[in-house]
C-alpha cells in the first residue's frame, strides 16, 4: 500500500525523496517558528539537519551495497569511517612545526589527496578483513568486522601511534587526546581549487543583508550541507549503476544462494571482495565528510553505536533499495537522531518552568505512592535526549513486527543493464531503431 | 556470437564442443565419508563424449554426493576427477563450471527473489559487465548494455523452448516445483556447457514436457554435448541412456549398456533386496 503512495508521487523515486525531504524541512521550520528562532537560528537548524541527512544517507547507501545487495553482514562500519578521516588527516594536515598548536603534523598534501587516501585505506582495511572472513560463513564476517572496528579505535587511542615518523615527517594520530584538524577549511580549499573563493566571499557578504553579524558560519554550513547532498546523489548514481549491471546481478545471486552463483561459474569470493571494498571505500569517504570540518577528532567518537545508527537507518528505509536507503538515512537523521533534540527544545519552549525530577527513582515513586504520573511524564520529557536510544529500540521493534522490509525494501530493483520486461515481441519488431537505455 | 539455430530454435552459443577426446569426464577412486557414513567409496567411472549416461542407484547410494565431488562442491577424501584430460580435483566450483562442466541440483535452487529473467541472465559466461568498472564507467558501459541486449535475446529463445516464457517476469520463488526444475535446466544450458550433470531433472515435470526435454537432450547429444543423468525412473533410463552406471552403498556396482544392466542379478538384488 505504501508502494502506491510512492507511485503516486510525481517524479518517481527522485520525487519520493524530494517529497520526504520537503516534509522533513517543513516540520523543522515549523518547529523553529514554534521555538521563536531567529532567521539565523532557522538557517542553522536547516544546515545541521542537512548535514546529518547527508551523512546518514551516504552511509546507509554504502551499507546497502554490503547487506542489501550482497548479504555481507558488516557491523564494523564505524571502523572504516575512522580509518577514512584519520588517514585523510595524516595526509592533509600541514607539516609539523615546533611550537604550533598541534602536537603532530601531517604530510601537507592537498585535501583531495587526503580524501582519496582515506578511501583507499578504508578499502584496503576492508580487503584485509574480508580475505579471511569471506571464506567462512556470514556470521564470521560480523564478528570480524565489529572486532576490527574496536581494534581500529584502540589503535588510534594507543600511545604507539600517537606520534611517529613517516617520510621523515613528524606525524601521528594524537592518541586519546585527539587530533587537531588544522588544514585549510575544506570549503575554502574547494572553492580555491575551482577558483571561486573570492566569489564565495562575495556571496557571504551579500548574505550579510539577511544576517548582519558574522554570516560566514551560516553560509558555510548551508553550502557544506548542499555539498553533502551532492555526494549523496553521486553515491546513489554509482550504486544504482552497480546494481543495474551484470556485476550487481551476481551480487544479488550471492545474497540469494552463493553455491548456485558459484556453480554457474561465478568466482563469488572475488565478487564479494570487490563489493566489500567498494562499500568500505564509500564508508571511509563518508567518515571523512562527516568529521573533516569538526576541528578535531578523538578515537572515542568512533564507538559501535554509530554503526548501529546506520543499520537502523537502512532498516527503516529497506535493505535492497537504493531509494529506500536515502529515505531511511533522511528519516533516521530527522526523527531519531536530530528529532529528540528538537523535541526537547520545543517542550522547553512550551513548558518553560516545569521542575522535572532529578532521577528515575523520584520520577517513578509518586506513581506508586499517590498514582501521580506527572513526575514520570516530566522526567521522560526532560530526558528525551538521553532516551534517544530507547526510542530507536522501540522503533526497531515496531518495524520488525509491522514492516520488516522497511519503507521500500519490498520493492525489488532489477539487476540488469536493460529493463527486463515481457514486452519483447514489440521490441524485436522495432529493433535496430537504436537503444537509448543508457544515459 | 551464435550459429546453433539448427536445433528447434534453441541457441546455445558457440556451436558444439570440439570432439577431441573419447572420455571427457573420468573419476578415479573417489571417496567421501561424512563422519561414520562413507557416502562414496572407491568410485571409478568414465563418461563417454556425446553420450547420455545414466547414474542410478537406490536412495542414499551416493549419486548426489558423487556430483558434488565432481563439481567441486565437496572435496574428495581420496581420488581424482579428470575433465578434458586435466585434473580438476579440488578446484573451485566456478572454475570447473567455466571449463564447461556444469551441474543442476536435485532440489531445485532457484534464486527466489530474482525474476526468471534475472535468473537466466545470470548464467551466460564471459559477461563484460561482470567487471565492476566497466559497469559503472560512462561510455564503457555502452558495451555492457549492448551485450545485455544480446544475452536477453538468447535468454528469450531458451525460455520459449522450455515453455516458461510466460513466467519471464515472475519471481522464481513463486514457481511450482516442476517449473523450478525447468528453470534450473535452462539456466545451466545458458552457461554453454560441454558436459551437463543433471540430478533428477525430470522430478515434477509433466510427461509431455519431459518427452520434449528428452528429445532436446538427444539433439544436443548429437551435436556433441555429453550428459550424466541421475534418474529413478528405470524405463526412462533404459530408453534414453547409452550407458548406465550403477551405484550401490557408495560403490560402483556395475557399468554397461542398459540391456546388460537390466539383466544383471546384482542390480536387481540391490534394488529389490536393499532397503528401498
Ligand atoms: N552433507 C552431508 N552430510 C552428512 N551426510 C551426508 C551428506 N550428504 C550426503 N550424506 C549421506 O551420504 C549418503 C549418500 O547421499 P546422496 O545424497 O549422495 O544419495 P543419493 O544417491 O543422491 O540419494 P537420493 O536418490 O535419495 O537422492 C547418504 O547416506 C546421506 O545421508
Ligand atoms: Mg540425490
Residue A427's pLDDT band (cuts 50, 70, 90)? low
Q: Is the dihedral of CA B177, B179, B181, B183 positive or negative?
A: negative
**Mean pLDDT within A418-435:** 57
CB count within 10 Å of CB A362 equals 13
Query: How far is the CA of A386 from the CAs of A261, A337, A340, A347, in angstroms?
Result: 46, 11, 9, 15
Query: Which of B91, B97, B101, B122 should be substituted to probe chain A, the one whose Cβ sees the most A Cβ atoms within 10 Å?
Result: B122
Interface contact A245-B129, CB threshold 8 A: yes
Asked if B52 and B227 touch (Cβ cutoff 8 Å), the reply is yes
Pocket lining: B39 vs ligand 1, CB cutoff 6 Å: yes
From the list B105, B169, B188, the residue facing A421 with the nearest CB is B169
- Gap between the Cα atoms of B5 and A335, Å rounded: 59
Cell 533516521 locates to A332
Within a domain: residue A261? yes
Q: What is the pLDDT of residues A293-344, one digit of tens each?
A: 998 999 999 999 999 999 999 999 988 889 999 999 999 999 889 888 877 7
Report pLDDT for B12.
47
Percent of chain A with pLDDT over 90: 43
pLDDT at A47: 92
Q: Is residue A64 predicted with pLDDT exceeding 90?
A: yes
Query: Sign of dihedral through CA atoms A219, A225, A228, A230?
Result: negative
Flag whether A317 is in a domain. Answer: no
Q: Do the chains contact at B156 and A424, CB–CB below 8 Å? A: yes
* pLDDT score recorded for residue B11: 45
Question: Higher-confidence residue: A180 or A413?
Answer: A180
The residue with greater pLDDT, B202 or A99, is B202
**3-state SS class at A105:** strand
- Would you tell me which CATH number, out of the four given (3.40.50.300, 3.40.30.10, 3.30.1180.10, 3.40.50.1220), belongs to the domain B2-275? 3.40.50.300
CB-nearest to A253 from B111, B135, B168 is B111
Burial tier of A426 (Cβ tally within 10 Å: 0-12, 13-18, 19+) = exposed
| Chain A residues close to B114, C-beta within 8 Å | 249, 252-253, 256, 412, 415
pLDDT at B21: 65
At B78 the pLDDT is 93
**What separation in Å is there between the alpha carbon of A323 and the centre of ligand 1?**
44
Cβ contact A75:A146 at 8 Å: yes
Residues in chain A: 439
Q: Which residues of A touch B142 (CB under 8 A)?
A: 438
pLDDT band, residue A384 (cuts 50/70/90): confident
A262 → closest Cβ in B93, B113, B121: B93
* Cα–Cα separations (whole angstroms), residue A28 to A32, A306, B174, B240: 6, 23, 44, 73
Average pLDDT taken over every residue of chain A: 85
Q: Which of B33, B38, B60 for mutating ligand 1's site (highest number of atoms within 8 Å of CB)? A: B60
User: Looking at residue A432, what is its pLDDT?
Assistant: 46
Residues A78-91, mean pLDDT to the nearest whole number:
95
Distance B43 CA to ligand 1 centre (A): 15
Q: How many CA atoms lie within 13 A of A83 on its CB side?
A: 24
Q: Are B246 and B57 a contacting pair, CB within 8 Å?
A: yes
A3 has pLDDT over 70: no
Domain enclosing residue A221, as ranges: 35-303
Q: Please name the residue ranges forming H helices in A135-176.
A: 138-157
What was the ipTM of the complex prediction? 0.87
Q: Residue A167 and residue A61: Cα distance in Å, rounded? A: 36
Cα A336 → chain centroid: 14
pLDDT score, position A406 = 81
Residues of A with Cβ-Cβ distance to B156 under 8 angstroms: 424
CB contact under 8 A, B149 and A263: no
Q: Is the CB of B61 under 6 A from ligand 1?
A: yes
Helix/strand/coil for A231: helix
Facing B145 at nearest CB: one of A274, A412, A438: A438
Residue A392 is assigned to a structural domain of this protein: no
Three-class SS of A268-331:
HHHHHHHHHHHHHHHHHHHHHHHHCCCCEECHHHCCHHHHHHHHHHHHHHCCCCHHHHHHHHHH
Q: From its phi and psi, is residue A414 left (phi > 0), alpha (psi between -120 and 50) or beta?
A: beta
pTM for the predicted model, two decimal places: 0.88
Residue A228 CB contacts under 8 Å (≥ 6 apart), including other chains? A50, A51, A53, A54, A55, A58, A289
Q: How many CB atoms within 10 Å of residue B63?
A: 25
In a domain, A412, yes or no: no
C-alpha cell at B136: 559503472
3-state helix, strand, coil in chain A (%, to 5): 70, 5, 30
User: Contact B128/A246, CB-based, under 8 Å?
Assistant: yes
Cell (9 digits) for A206: 551579500
Helix axes A77-92, A39-63, angle to 10 degrees: 110
Residues of A in contact with B83 (CB under 8 A): none
Determine the distance from the C-alpha atom of residue A262 to the mean position of all C-alpha atoms in its chain, rounded to a whole number. Answer: 33
Mean pLDDT of A334-360: 75
Distances in Å between the Cα of A104 and the Cα atoms of A59, A119, A156, A299, B62 are 30, 22, 14, 16, 66
Element (H, E) at B82: strand B78-83
pLDDT tens, position by position, A235-281: 999 999 999 999 999 999 999 999 999 999 999 999 999 999 999 99
Domain count, chain A: 1
For position A374, what pLDDT does the model report?
Answer: 73
**pLDDT lower than 70: segments of chain B:** 1-21, 272-276
Q: Say if the Cβ atoms of A256 and B112 lie within 8 Å.
A: yes
Read off the pLDDT of residues A105-158 as tens digits, 9 standing for 90 and up: 778 899 999 999 999 999 999 999 988 887 766 678 888 999 999 999 999 998
Residue A117 lies in a domain: yes
- Measured between alpha carbons, how far is A71 from A166 in angstroms, rounded to an integer? 38
pLDDT of residue A320: 87
Q: Closest residue of B to A239, CA-based?
A: B136
Point out which residues pair with B34 in neighbouring strands.
Answer: B37
What length is written for chain B? 276
CB of residue B58 inside a 6 A radius of ligand 1: no
Question: Cell numbers 598534501 correspond to what residue?
Answer: A109
Domain ranges of chain B: 2-275
Higher pLDDT, A420 or B139: B139
- For the ranges A363-367, A376-380, B138-142, B209-213, the one whose mean pLDDT is highest: B138-142
Amino acid at each position: 500500500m505504501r508502494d502506491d503512495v510512492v507511485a503516486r508521487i510525481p517524479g518517481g523515486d527522485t520525487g519520493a525523496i524530494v517529497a520526504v525531504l520537503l516534509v522533513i524541512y517543513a516540520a523543522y521550520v515549523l518547529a523553529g517558528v514554534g521555538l521563536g528562532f531567529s532567521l539565523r537560528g532557522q538557517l542553522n537548524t536547516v544546515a545541521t539537519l542537512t548535514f546529518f541527512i547527508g551523512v546518514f544517507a551516504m552511509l546507509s547507501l554504502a551499507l546497502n551495497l554490503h547487506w542489501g545487495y550482497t548479504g555481507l553482514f558488516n557491523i564494523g562500519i564505524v571502523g572504516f569511517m575512522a580509518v577514512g578521516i584519520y588517514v585523510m588527516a595524516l595526509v592533509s594536515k600541514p607539516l609539523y612545526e615546533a611550537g604550533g598548536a598541534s602536537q603532530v603534523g601531517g604530510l601537507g598534501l592537498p585535501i583531495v589527496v587526503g580524501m582519496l587516501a582515506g578511501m583507499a585505506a578504508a578499502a584496503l582495511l576492508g580487503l584485509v578483513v574480508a580475505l579471511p572472513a569471506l571464506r567462512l560463513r556470514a556470521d564470521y564476517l560480523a564478528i570480524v568486522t565489529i572486532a576490527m572496528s574496536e581494534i581500529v579505535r584502540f589503535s588510534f587511542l594507543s600511545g604507539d601511534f600517537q606520534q611517529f615518523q613517516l617520510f621523515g615527517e613528524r606525524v601521528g594520530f594524537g592518541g586519546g587526546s585527539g587530533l587537531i584538524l588544522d588544514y585549510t577549511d575544506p570549503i575554502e580549499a574547494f572553492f580555491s581549487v575551482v577558483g571561486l573563493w573570492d566569489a564565495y566571499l562575495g556571496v557571504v557578504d551579500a548574505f550579510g543583508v539577511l544576517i548582519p553579524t558574522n554570516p560566514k558560519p551560516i553560509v558555510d554550513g548551508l553550502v557544506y550541507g548542499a555539498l553533502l547532498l551532492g555526494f549523496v546523489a553521486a553515491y546513489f548514481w554509482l550504486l544504482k549503476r552497480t546494481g543495474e549491471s551484470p556485476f550487481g546481478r551476481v551480487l544479488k545471486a550471492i545474497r540469494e544462494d552463493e553455491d548456485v552463483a558459484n556453480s554457474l561459474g561465478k568466482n563469488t569470493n572475488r565478487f564479494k571482495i570487490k563489493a566489500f571494498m567498494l562499500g568500505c571505500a564509500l564508508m571511509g569517504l563518508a567518515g571523512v565528510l562527516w568529521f573533516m570540518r569538526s576541528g578535531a577528532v578523538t578515537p572515542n567518537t568512533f564507538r559501535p553505536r554509530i554503526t548501529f545508527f546506520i543499520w537502523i537507518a537502512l532498516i527503516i528505509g529497506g535493505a535492497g533499495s537504493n531509494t529506500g536507503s536515502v529515505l531511511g538515512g533522511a528519516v533516521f537523521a530527522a526523527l531519531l537522531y536530530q528529532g529528540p533534540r528538537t523535541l526537547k527544545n520545543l517542550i522547553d519552549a512550551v513548558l518553560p518552568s516545569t521542575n522535572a525530577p532529578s532521577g528515575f527513582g523520584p520520577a517513578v515513586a509518586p506513581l506508586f505512592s499517590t498514582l501521580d504520573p506527572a513526575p514520570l511524564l516530566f522526567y521522560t520529557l526532560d530526558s528525551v535526549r538521553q532516551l534517544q536510544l530507547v526510542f530507536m529500540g522501540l522503533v526497531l521493534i515496531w518495524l520488525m513486527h509491522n514492516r520488516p522490509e522497511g519503507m521500500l525494501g519490498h520493492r525489488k530493483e532489477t539487476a540488469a543493464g536493460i529493463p527486463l520486461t515481457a514486452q519483447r515481441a514489440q521490441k524485436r519488431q522495432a529493433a535496430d531503431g537504436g537503444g537509448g537505455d543508457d544515459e | 556470437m551464435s550459429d546453433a539455430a539448427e536445433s528447434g530454435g534453441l541457441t546455445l552459443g558457440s556451436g558444439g564442443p570440439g570432439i577431441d577426446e573419447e572420455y571427457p569426464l573420468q573419476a578415479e577412486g573417489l571417496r567421501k565419508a561424512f563422519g561414520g557414513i562413507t557416502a562414496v567409496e572407491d568410485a571409478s567411472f568414465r563418461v563417454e563424449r556425446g553420450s547420455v549416461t545414466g547414474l542410478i542407484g537406490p536412495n542414499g547410494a551416493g549419486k548426489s554426493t558423487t556430483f558434488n565431488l565432481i563439481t567441486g562442491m565437496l572435496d574428495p577424501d581420496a581420488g581424482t576427477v579428470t575433465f578434458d584430460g586435466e585434473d580438476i580435483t579440488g578446484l573451485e566450483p566456478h572454475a570447473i563450471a567455466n571449463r564447461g562442466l556444469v551441474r543442476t541440483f536435485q532440489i531445485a535452487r532457484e534464486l527466489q527473489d530474482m525474476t526468471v529473467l534475472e535468473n537466466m541472465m545470470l548464467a551466460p559466461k564471459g559477461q563484460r559487465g561482470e567487471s565492476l568498472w566497466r559497469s559503472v564507467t560512462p561510455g564503457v558501459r555502452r558495451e555492457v548494455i549492448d551485450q545485455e541486449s544480446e544475452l536477453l535475446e538468447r535468454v528469450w529463445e531458451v525460455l520459449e523452448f522450455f515453455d516458461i516464457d510466460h513466467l519471464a517476469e515472475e519471481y522464481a520463488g513463486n514457481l511450482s516445483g516442476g517449473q523450478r526444475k525447468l528453470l534450473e535446466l535452462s539456466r545451466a544450458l545458458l552457461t554453454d556447457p560441454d558436459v551437463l550433470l543433471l540430478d533428477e531433472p525430470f522430478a515434477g515435470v509433466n510427461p509431455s514436457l519431459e518427452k520434449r526435454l528428452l528429445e532436446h537432450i538427444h539433439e544436443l547429444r548429437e551435436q556433441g554435448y555429453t550428459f550424466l543423468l541421475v534418474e529413478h525412473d528405470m524405463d526412462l533410463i533404459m530408453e534414453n541412456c547409452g550407458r548406465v552406471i550403477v551405484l550401490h552403498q557408495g560403490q560402483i556396482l556395475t557399468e554397461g549398456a542398459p540391456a546388460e544392466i537390466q539383466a544383471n542379478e546384482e542390480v536387481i538384488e540391490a534394488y529389490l533386496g536393499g532397503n528401498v
